[in-house]
Amino acid sequence: MSQELHPITKAIRIQTTKTGQSEHSTPLYLTSSFTFDEAETMRAAFADENDNNIYSRFSNPNVDEFVAKMCALEDVEDGFATSTGMSAVFSSFMALMKSGDHLLCCSSVFGSTYTIVNKYLPRYGITCTLIPANDKDAWEAAVQPNTKMLFLETPTNPQLEVIDLEHAGKFAKKHNLIFNVDNCFATPLLQKPVEYGADVIIHSATKWIDGQGRVLGGVIVGRKDLINEIYLFCRNTGPAMSPFNAWVLSKSLETLDVRLQRHCENALKIATALQSNPNVSWVKYPFLASHPQYDIAKKQMKLGGGVLCFEIKGGVEAGRKFLNSLELLSVTANLGDSRSIASHPASTTHSKLSDDERAAVGITPGLIRVSAGLEYADDVLRDIEQALEKSRG
Ligand SMILES: Cc1ncc(COP(=O)(O)O)c(C=O)c1O
């Protein structure tokens, strides 16, 4: 077709070259390595003189199809898919920074990212300053002569803080920093960090991209020169995505747009209803007018996303009772599934932290995170309401 296709169409139509079987759906290339008819072709492949696949740690047709779709959706030049979201985060740090560099990282980031930047990066001589999500002065004060990268996620997990990408992009440019965004919660369909100058964009494909809680996966996309550095790091260190997972995730991208619309619709409906629930102190959702960064969310996101959170009255004990009283929602450590999920960080993921440590990372005693699934929203809401009632006193 003469006209450029929309990214949503590309996410459905990009496909590996058809084999002699004229298949409609992409076949699964479950192979560790690829063969060569001639030594010369193999030599040229290793010398980067042709694009032949060599070994699935480097590239694989299923993985390439998934990456090409993600690049189309994020509107960027290049990408590399990894085994998990965390290997994507870690590889982006290790490939793009070196001993002596300094990282600025928003204080409210996913727990494992927090551990990497505070525990592991310093072992390799990379220091990190945590900056409060929306304190512009603190960002300026934290810049050092050796600051190399700005890393953030928005909306954050699980506090749903929204960070101003326009400000972050200008800040990164002013200080000549690599601007690295974890876009897991929004997905490229709700928010495009590249429009604000992001150099590298990361996803845990395990979440909304899969959408049915089946496989783990991660992807890093962005500027070609930076992705090449990441590719070389990953090619040698080995956090490759499996072809099977890539096949599942590529298929999932075909339905991401329609799924997300229902997830967001359900999340907004549940969040709105819970605002007047007597057992709840507050509700947070990026597209509720009461959200502290509502204006920023409206500016940079198309819809509010599939996750909402609220504070149950009665603290940690009420949170536990709430989880025990749910009849429909799943109690599990994931999000972005077709089935609605509830979690209570204070008694689970963050239970080993002291009250003060939890407060420092924004985890209040009664914080409940809900990932809105694709069920009929009233059924999900009724289950949450009856569990709230049972968690009282
Ligand atoms: C924002 C964010 N980034 C990264 C990750 C890590 O992804 P994975 O579990 O695929 O390693 C998660 C997981 O929940 C997440 O929520």
Specify the CATH class of 7-253 in words. Answer: alpha beta
Ligand 1 binding pocket includes 84 (Cβ within 6 Å): yes
Side-chain-side CA neighbours of residue 376 (13 Å): 3
Q: How remote is the CA of residue 110 from the centroid of ligand 1, in Å? A: 7
The fold for domain 256-390 equals Aspartate Aminotransferase, domain 1 (3.90.1150)
Cβ atoms of residues 98 and 213 within 8 Å: no
Q: Which residue has the tokens 């204006």?
A: 295
Residue 17 in tokens: 């070259």
Those residues whose C-beta lies under 8 Å from the C-beta of residue 228, and which sit 6 or more positions away, are 78
Q: Whose CA is nearest to atom 8 of ligand 1?
A: 85
pLDDT band at 1; cut points 50, 70, 90: low
pLDDT band at 248; cut points 50, 70, 90: very high
Q: Residue 257 pLDDT > 90, yes or no?
A: yes
Ligand 1 binding pocket includes 221 (Cβ within 6 Å): no
CA distance 203 to 253: 13
Give me the DSSP letters along 273-307: HHTT-TTEEEEE-TTSTTSTTHHHHHHH-SS--SE
State which ligand 1 atom lies nearest to the alpha carbon of 109: 1
Q: How remote is the CA of residue 252 from the centroid of ligand 1, in Å? A: 17
Q: Whose CA is nearest to atom 15 of ligand 1?
A: 110
Mean pLDDT of all residues in 337-346: 96
CA distance 102 to 106: 13
- The per-type count for the chain, helices as H runs and strands as E runs, is 15, 12
Residue 356: predicted pLDDT? 83
pLDDT band at 245; cut points 50, 70, 90: very high
Residue 173 in tokens: 């440019």
Q: Whose CA is nearest to atom 6 of ligand 1?
A: 85
Residue 170: predicted pLDDT? 98
pLDDT tens readout for residues 57-111: 999 999 999 999 999 999 999 999 999 999 999 999 999 999 999 999 999 899 8
CA distance 21 to 2: 28
Q: Residue 136 pLDDT > 80, yes or no?
A: yes
pTM for the structure as a whole: 0.96
Ligand 1 binding pocket includes 153 (Cβ within 6 Å): yes
Q: How remote is the CA of residue 116 from the centroid of ligand 1, in Å? A: 13
State which ligand 1 atom lies nearest to the alpha carbon of 184: 1
pLDDT band at 348; cut points 50, 70, 90: confident
For the chain, the domains span 7-253, 256-390
What is the arrangement of strands in the sheet containing 341-343, beginning at the earlier edge strand? 280-284, 307-312, 367-371, 341-343, 330-331
Ligand 1 binding pocket includes 314 (Cβ within 6 Å): no
Q: Residue 6 pLDDT > 80, yes or no?
A: yes
Q: Residue 283 pLDDT > 90, yes or no?
A: yes
CA distance 317 to 391: 8
Residue 350: predicted pLDDT? 81
Q: Which amino acid is at 391?
A: S
CA distance 292 to 162: 8
Ligand 1 binding pocket includes 218 (Cβ within 6 Å): yes
Residue 43: predicted pLDDT? 97
Q: Residue 338 pLDDT > 80, yes or no?
A: yes
CA distance 381 to 283: 14
Ligand 1 binding pocket includes 60 (Cβ within 6 Å): no
Q: Which amino acid is at 343?
A: S
Mean pLDDT of all residues in 37-57: 96
Return the CA Rg of the chain.
22
Residue 361: predicted pLDDT? 78
Those residues whose C-beta lies under 8 Å from the C-beta of residue 108, and which sit 6 or more positions away, are 133, 156, 159, 161, 361, 362
Q: How remote is the CA of residue 207 from the centroid of ligand 1, in Å? A: 8
Q: Mean pLDDT, the chain, as a whole number?
A: 96
**Closest to 319 in 3D by CA, of 343, 349, 352:** 343
Q: Whose CA is nearest to atom 9 of ligand 1?
A: 85
Q: Whose CA is nearest to atom 7 of ligand 1?
A: 85
Q: Residue 280 pLDDT > 70, yes or no?
A: yes
- Percent of the chain scored above 90 by pLDDT? 93
- Percent of the chain scored above 70 by pLDDT? 99
